[in-house]
Amino acid sequence: MPNFEKLNIPNAGQVITFKDGNPIVPNNPIVPFIRGDGTGVDIWPATQNVIDAAIFKCYGDERKIHWFKVYAGDEACDIYGTYNYLPKDTIEAIKHFGVAIKGPLTTPVGGGIRSLNVALRQIFDLYSCVRPCKYYKGTPSPHKSPEDLDIIVYRENTEDIYMGIEWEADDETCIKLINYLNNEIIPNSPKLKNRSLPKNAGIGIKPVSKFGSQRHIRKAIEHAKKLSEGKRHVTLVHKGNIMKFTEGSFRDWGYELAVNEFRNDCITERESWILDNINNNPAISVENNARLIEPGFDKLTSAKRETICEEIKSVIKNIGDTHGNNKWKKLVLVDDRIADSIFQQIQTRPQEYSILATLNLNGDYLSDAAAAIVGGLGMAPGANIGDKAAIFEATHGTAPKHAGLNKINPGSVILSAVMMLEYFGWEEPANLITMGISRSIEQKKVTYDLARLMEPQVKPLSCSEFGESIIENF
Ligand code: NAP
């Protein structure tokens, strides 16, 4: 047990441990919580009431969370001193107890930390950011059929352009780097031909590794395996048509992982086409089957045609028995979509998608766009998950102008707590809270943000009343 400078550890409860990246949760886990800045002061008490009530209703005294208050953000500075936004105590507590939940935090101006949220993700190597976007009946939405969207965005959290390795235009190092690339690297790379970087450009580096991509996609596939039939589907989202060796490789490494590591659990979209076409046409030759699955087959070179025929033979030989005759429909389907196309598809054909595995930047945009479809950030939960720790969090910020007024929507943090309970394997209270939220919204018992969008307008509940309404609906 670490020695804490200013924290009071609960006098009962046990530590959550991890095995092979999964939590082993006792019946009485100690869970550190960061109340959060701004509206955190309103949101956290409402959230804790809802979680405790749901656990008690489902398990009585058999299970209980022992909450452990730790500090970050403005509150931490009050306790630990100016600019001490993320005290060592807090880091040690999360490291030791493994799973934490947090309200929103102010991004500090000064003090050397770019963002507390980013810092927490980096310190604990929380490499997957998970954001479910699902519609609760009655929530006002700008869309005609928001209930058709039920997806989980899996956003890689540690790599990509978000690593912040960048140089400002005209910075001395930036000029050196541009000269080096223009004079030595590009001329010696035949594929880059005679391109050159503009002289006064700023530069950012976009690293995407096989290790980083695969450990993230592995989590997404593991998650998909636990979903109901029809939702076992992981779509690799990328812009590989333009950024071949970063975004394109993300897609390729994803397929490689699906086939090599999850052979009995997964099928790729292409394999499913092959099996479906073969199944529908058992009598026709491999070459004719190839014509069916490969548009423009006859115009391809003979070597390419031969490769496709070999691919078909190999799919039939290797997985025809195990995955054919529609058996694959019970497995995880892995396909891929270009990032810009998925933005329109979650609006035009949302039913077709389940888990979207993305790189860092694409996932950032996509999760907010998906949240908007189902009713906005007030109802959008999130989790940052690694192999030895997980932090569940609000996806919105501190909304300072609403702080302390007991009016803000606590839905995002409450739904993040639902994700935490699911992560524990405590499905019963998780389902109870989800049901309580749904019913409360259907009864139009909502906070101001949703109330103002309802037709006809309804009188809003306060933050704490919304929490109570959820509990009354258990
Ligand atoms: P914000 O705090 O998310 O607030 C922007 C607006 O979003 C609010 O004025 C409010 O809109 C709406 N909103 C936010 N939380 C809501 C909730 N729980 N229920 C209903 N509506 C909600 O964004 P910001 O003002 O740009 O950022 C403020 C601070 O938060 C900054 O320091 C920023 O860095 C930080 N931040 C932290 C996180 C995080 O901790 N994960 C995320 C984003 C930003 P209306 O006023 O129109 O109702």
Average pLDDT (372-378) is 84
**Atom 4 of ligand 1 has which residue's CA nearest to it?**
399
Point out the least confidently predicted range of 113-117, 323-327, 328-332, 463-467: 113-117
Structural contact between residues 23 and 17, judged by C-beta atoms closer than 8 angstroms: yes
Q: List, for residues 314-365, the tens digit of each pLDDT value.
A: 999 999 999 998 999 999 999 999 999 999 999 999 999 999 999 999 999 9
Average pLDDT (114-125) is 87
**Atom 32 of ligand 1 has which residue's CA nearest to it?**
106
Q: Give the C-alpha distances (Å, rounded to integers) separating 245 from 36, 94, 240, 294.
A: 39, 36, 8, 25
Structural contact between residues 383 and 374, judged by C-beta atoms closer than 8 angstroms: no
Task: Report residue 223 as tokens.
Answer: 């998650």
pLDDT band at 376 (very low <50, low <70, confident <90, very high): confident
Q: Is the CB of 107 under 6 A from ligand 1?
A: yes
Angle at the Cα of 260 (from 256 to 262), degrees rounded to 5? 105
Average pLDDT value over all residues in the chain: 93
pTM of the model: 0.91
Rounded Cα distance between 470 and 467, Å, is 5
Q: Omega of the bond prior to 456 within 30 degrees of 0, cis?
A: yes
Q: List, for residues 387-410, the tens digit of each pLDDT value.
A: 999 999 988 889 999 999 999 999
Contacts of 82 (CB under 8 A, 6+ apart): none
Contacts of 182 (CB under 8 A, 6+ apart): 196, 197
Residue 266 parent element (H or E):
strand 266-268
Q: Is the CB of 446 under 6 A from ligand 1?
A: no
Q: Is the model's pLDDT at 157 over the cut of 60?
A: yes
Residue to probe by mutation, ligand 1, list 74, 398, 405, 464, most atoms within 8 Å of CB: 398
- In percent, how much of the chain has pLDDT > 70? 98
Rounded Cα distance between 433 and 54, Å, is 7
How much is the pLDDT for 379? 83
Give whichever of 89-103, 182-196, 366-380, 445-459 has the largest mean pLDDT: 89-103
